[in-house]
């Protein structure tokens, strides 16, 4: 509930299914005050509601490594309400968020996992 109270999406009410979906996939980390940190650059895409570690620069400086450039993020959204539940339905989106940020592309992803080396 604190996510709704924090007001990160002040222009979005969560009354409709599409607006709820948008809110749960929200990541406007360069403008969201809750994504700001004592780091360089002064924000982290990992601190957004739908995290995207790939958006943080590889040469960024973060107080803890989990806030930096990494292979991590929100990958999907699944939601329902009482009306949909009665019809045994739900809404699902299976991909990283892309509304306010560039879409994820494997061809541009430069992260190398240490366990693959």
Cis before residue 83, ω within 30 degrees of 0? no
Q: What is the pLDDT of residue 100?
A: 86
Q: What pLDDT, on a 0 to 100 scale, did the predictor assign at position 99? A: 84
29 and 47 Cβ atoms separated by less than 8 Å: yes
According to the model, what pLDDT value does residue 13 have? 45
Q: Return the closest-CA partner of residue 50 out of 18, 110, 94.
A: 94
pTM of this structure: 0.75
> Do the Cβ atoms of 50 and 66 come closer than 8 Å?
no
How many whole angstroms from its chain centre is CA 36? 14
pLDDT tens sequence across 87-108: 999 989 888 888 889 998 888 8
Our CA angle for 69, 39, 47, nearest 5°, is 60
The answer to whether the beta carbons of residues 58 and 45 sit under 8 Å apart is no
């Amino acid at each position: 509930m604190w996510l709704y109270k924090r007001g990160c999406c002040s222009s979005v009410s969560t009354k409709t299914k599409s607006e709820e979906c948008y809110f749960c996939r929200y990541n406007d980390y360069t403008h969201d005050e809750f994504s700001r940190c004592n780091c360089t650059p002064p924000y982290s895409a990992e601190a957004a509601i739908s995290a995207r570690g790939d958006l943080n620069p590889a040469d960024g400086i973060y107080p803890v490594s989990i806030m930096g450039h990494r292979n991590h993020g929100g990958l999907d959204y699944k939601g329902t309400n009482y009306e949909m539940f009665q019809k045994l339905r739900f809404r699902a989106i299976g991909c990283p968020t892309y509304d306010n940020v560039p879409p994820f592309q494997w061809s541009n992803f430069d992260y190398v996992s240490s366990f693959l080396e």
